[in-house]
Amino acid sequence: METAALKAKAAQIRMDLLRMIHGAKTGHTGGSLSNADILTALYYRVMNIDPQNPKWEKRDRFIASKGHSVESLWCILADLGFFPKEELTTFSQFGTRLIGHPNNKVAGIEMNTGALGHGLAISVGMALASKRDASGYRVFCLMGDGEQAEGSVWEAAMAGAHYKLDNLVGIIDRNRLQISGSTEDVMGLDPLEDKWASFGWNVVSIDGNDMESLVEALDAVPSIANKPTLIMANTVKGKGVSFAENVPHWHHHVPSDEQLEMALSELTALMESHIQEGQVR
């Protein structure tokens, strides 16, 4: 997809996840809205995947280490045909496969995740296997910024650089908010880019809600031989919904009927503007 189509698709995914959360009466709304652009760029532009053959050996792998923000991922996998879109209505209901964290009983999910700090270590193992088997696939790992307080993240970061895994891409959804408030108040992280660089990673800092920047950064990997890449995606929690942006309360919150209607109206207008942008180009 070209960037205008990706922007329109991201707006659609935001609408889908809001409807899903509203129907289920539960969900991590803020983080799913902030990472929607990242996942849209990955799944509709960057990653080599085949929804009709989800176990294709040479597929790129995606690990959602911040597994609690799974709602955007469920909506994308359904939209791509990994499972029927109608199944989204079962999200977080009794007996569903679509639980509140990634579940590898669903096609397109590589690992059960959500216990924060584990995803990058899993990704290091996958990337190392790809290198040793000469399989050629890449591994993308999405982490939260609050997750950077976990020591296991830094053990994995050290290993990724040690093994020269230039087929490994870590992405941090740097929205600066976690469930209990600002990341810098809970456990200060800055200068986060410098810390990752000191661990031997190629660090690229971008606006993680700007599709052009995402496409440029992700299309370039692997950009430096023998170095894993860390994309610092500076995002806005609740992105795309005016009353939810940068509001900690929306980390885990369900929109009311009126709020859903307002959010869908905003996102519909945004999607239509991006469709027109694509037509002009």
CATH, residue 182: 3.40.50.970
Q: Which residues pair with 168 in a beta bridge?
A: 139
Q: What percent of the chain has pLDDT over 90?
A: 96
- Across the chain, the runs of DSSP E, i.e. the strands, are 61-64, 139-144, 168-174, 177-178, 181-182, 202-207, 229-234
Residue with tokens 């045909």: 81
pLDDT at 225 over 70: yes
Among 125, 129, 83, 126, which Cα is nearest to 102's? Answer: 83
DSSP string computed for 122-136: HHHHHHHHHHHHT--
- 42-71 per-position pLDDT tens digit: 999 999 999 999 999 999 999 999 999 999
Q: Which range marks the domain in which residue 171 is found?
A: 3-280
pLDDT at 3 over 90: yes
Helical H segments across 134-209, by residue range: 151-162, 183-186, 192-198
Can you give the pTM of this predicted structure? 0.97
The total domain count for the chain is 1
Q: How big is the CA angle at 112 (ends 155 and 84), to the nearest 5 degrees?
A: 145
- 138-163 per-position pLDDT tens digit: 999 999 999 999 999 999 999 999 99
Mode of pairing for the β-strands spanning 177-178 and 181-182: antiparallel
SS3 227: coil
With 0-12 / 13-18 / 19 or more C-beta atoms within 10 angstroms meaning exposed / middle / buried, residue 275 is middle
Q: How big is the CA angle at 275 (ends 107 and 241), to the nearest 5 degrees?
A: 70
Q: How big is the CA angle at 40 (ends 37 and 44), to the nearest 5 degrees?
A: 150
- 14-49 per-position pLDDT tens digit: 999 999 999 999 999 999 999 999 999 999 999 999
Dihedral (CA of 7, 9, 10, 14) sign: positive
Mode of pairing for the β-strands spanning 61-64 and 139-144: parallel
What local confidence, expressed as pLDDT, does residue 281 receive?
Answer: 64
- 89-116 per-position pLDDT tens digit: 999 999 999 999 999 999 999 999 989 9
The one-letter amino acid at 128: L
Question: How large is the average pLDDT for residues 222-240?
Answer: 96
With 0-12 / 13-18 / 19 or more C-beta atoms within 10 angstroms meaning exposed / middle / buried, residue 133 is exposed
